[in-house]
Structure 1
Amino acid sequence: MAELTFLDRIEQTEDAAALRAESYRLLELVPGDTCVDVACGAGHAVAELARAQIKTIGIDADEGAVATARSRTPDAVFHVAPSDDLPLEDESVDGYRAARLFHLLADPLPTLAEAHRVLRPGGRIVLTGQDYGFLLLDSDDQDMSDVVLLGLESRSIAPRAARSLRDWLLDTGFRAAEVVVHTEVITDHGLLAMQLEVAAAAAVEKALITGDDAAQWLAEQADRGRRDRFLAVLPTLLVAATR
C-alpha cells in the first residue's frame, strides 16, 4: 500500500485532475450512463464520475486500493478482480476507462477482449498511460539521464505499451480510434525526487551505472532544483475508440 499512497498523492494534483477530465470528455457519457473504471486505484475517477451522475463501477485487483476507493465513494459499486476477468455482463456498460494499466500487463489482449465484451455497441473506451520512452529530463549529462530513465523503464513489464494502444484497440475490433497527448511540465524537483531515486536505484541494480554515478546524478538533479533549473516533461497518451 506504500505505492498506493504515493499514487493517491499524485492523483490529487491539478495536472492529474486535468488528465482525468480529458478522459471523461473522450468517454462522451451523459447522466444515467454506466461506466466501468478498471484499475481504479484509490477511486478519484470513480468519485468524480459518480458526482456527474454516471453509474460507475470501480474494479481493481488490489484489495487495499478498492477499500480506499470504497471509503471515498461508498455509494459506488466496487469489485476486486483482474482486468482480464471482469465480473460484468456482456454489453452492460456505456463507457470503459483504464488509466496506468497497460504498462503492467505482459499480454494486453485478454484485457482488451474483456473491454470489448462488456461495452455495448456504440460505447466508448478510453485508455491512458505514459510511454516511458518519451520522458524528458534535463541534465548536465544527458547521456547519463537517458541511461537512468532506462532503469526506470526496467521497473515495468511493458514500459512502452502506450504507443501500441491504438493498434491494439483496432485489432480487437474497436473503431474510430483517436489519440490525444496530455503533456505535463514539472519544474519542482520535490514532486519527482522519489521517482528519480527509484530510477537511479533501478539503473544501478541493472548494472547500467555505478552507485557513484547514481549519487552524482541525483546530486546534480537536486542542485538543479535548488537553482530553479529542474525540468521534466511527461507526456501521457489518451487513446479513445468506439465499440
Structure 2
Amino acid sequence: MSFLERIEERPGAAELRAESYRLLDLTSGGTCVDVGCGTGNAVAELSAAGLKAIGVDADPEAVEAARVRVPEAMFHVAHSDDLPLEDASADGYRAVRLFHLLEDPVPTVAEARRVIRPGGHVVLGGQDYGFLLIDSADQDLTDVVLLGLESRSVAPRAARSVRDLLLDAGFRDVEVVVHTEVVTDHGLLAGQLAAAAAAAVEKALITQQDADGWLAEQADRGRRDRFLAVLPTLLVGGRR
C-alpha cells in the first residue's frame, strides 16, 4: 500500500490524473468506473467533482484502503476482464497503470466496451518502460539495468499498443497524450532503482558489482543535485 501511495503522491501524479479526467470529458452526475483503482486517489477526486465513481481492483487490501479514503463511493474486488457491472452502465471508464500487468489485454478492452454506454469515453494508459530515461556516466549499463526493471512486469511496453487496442475494439476519436514527469529527487525513486538493479542481477544481465557501482553513482548524483529521470506516461482516450 505504501508503494501505491508513493506513486500517487509523487510530483506530477495529480497533473496526470487531471489530464485523464479531461479526456474522460464527463459532467457532474455521470458514472465513471476506475479499474485498477489502487487506494482510491482518482475515485476520491472524481467523487469530489460530482461524479458517481466506482472503483475496481483485484487486490482486496487496496480496495479496503480505498473504502477508508472514500467511504461514500462504491468499490468492487474484481479482475479487469470480468467487471460486476451491467452493460452500458458507465459514462466513463478509466484504467491507468494497469496494462503492464496483463498477459492478454484484449479481454479487458472488450469488457471496457461492454460497460460503457454508446457515446461514453474510455481512458487507458500507463508507463511504457522502454521509454524511461535515467542519466548516468555509463549509459550502456543503465540501459541494461532498465531491462531488469522491465523484467518485473508482465508486459512492460504495453502502453504503446493501447491505441491499436482501442481502434481494433471499435472505439472512435482515439487521442494519444504523453504526460512526462521529470524527477530530480533521487529519494523519490531510490527504491525502484534498487529493485531494477536487483532484477538485472537476478536475470544475470549484470553482476552484483555492476549493480552496486551503478546504485552508488545514482546516490552520488542525488547528493550533488545531478540526478535526472524522465518518466513518460501515455494516456489514450476514445469514445464508444
| TM-score normalised over the length of structure 2 | 0.99
Match of 1:95? 92
Tell me, yes or no, if structure 1 residue 185 matches structure 2 residue 182: yes
* Deviation (angstroms), 1:176: 1.2
Query: Residue 52 of structure 2 corresponds to which residue in structure 1?
Result: 55
Instruction: Choose from 211, 216, 235 the match for 2:213.
Output: 216
Shift of 1:13: 2.8
Report the equivalent of 2:119. 122
Amino acid at match of 2:42: A
Aligned pairs, how many? 240
CA distance in structure 1 between the aligned counterparts of 2:78 and 2:57, rounded to whole angstroms: 6
Task: State yes or no: 1:33 paired with 2:30.
Answer: yes
Rounded to whole Å, the distance in 2 between the matches of 1:72 and 1:33 is: 21
Q: Check whether the contact 2:130–2:157 (CA below 8 A) recurs between aligned residues.
A: yes
Distance 2:44 2:184 in 1: 29
1:64 to 61, 64, 77: 61
Runs of 4+ in 1 over 6 A off after TM superposition: none
Within 2, Cα distance between the matches of 1:104 and 1:94? 25
- Which residue of the partner structure matches residue 234 of structure 1? 231
Q: Distance in 1 between matches of 2:226 and 2:237?
A: 35
Matched, 1:151 2:148: yes
The residue number in structure 2 matching 1:43 is 40
The residue that corresponds to 2:162 in the other structure is 165
Report what 1:15 is aligned to.
12
Structure 2 gap ranges (5+) = none
SS at match of 1:229: coil
Q: What is the CA-CA distance between 1:128 and the residue it aligns to?
A: 1.6
Residue-by-residue CA offset, 1:50-70 (whole Å, 9 max, x unaligned): 000100000001000000000
Partner Cα distance (1:54, 1:207) in 2: 49
The residue that corresponds to 1:141 in the other structure is 138
Distance in structure 2 (CA, Å) of the matches to 1:13 and 1:6: 11
In structure 2, C-alpha distance between the alignment counterparts of 1:209 and 1:238, rounded to whole Å: 33
Match of 1:176 in 2: 173
CA displacement 1:150-197 (0-9 Å, x = unmatched): 000000000000000000011011111110000001111111000000
Structure 2: distance between partners of 1:73 and 1:6: 19
CA–CA separation in structure 1 for the residues paired with 2:109 and 2:190? 34
Moved more, 55-64 or 5-14: 5-14
Q: Distance in 2 between matches of 1:183 and 1:165?
A: 17
Residues in 2 aligned to 1:57 and 1:236: alpha-carbon distance in whole angstroms: 23
SS at match of 2:103: coil
Taking only aligned residues, the RMSD between alpha carbons, in angstroms, comes to 0.6
Distance (whole Å) between structure 1 residues aligned to residue 237 and residue 178 of structure 2? 11
Question: Shift of the alpha carbon at 1:84?
Answer: 0.3
Q: Give the drift of 1:7.
A: 1.6
- Is the Cα–Cα contact under 8 Å of residues 10 and 188 in structure 2 kept in the other structure? no
Structure 1: distance between partners of 2:210 and 2:11: 34
Offset at 1:14? 3.5
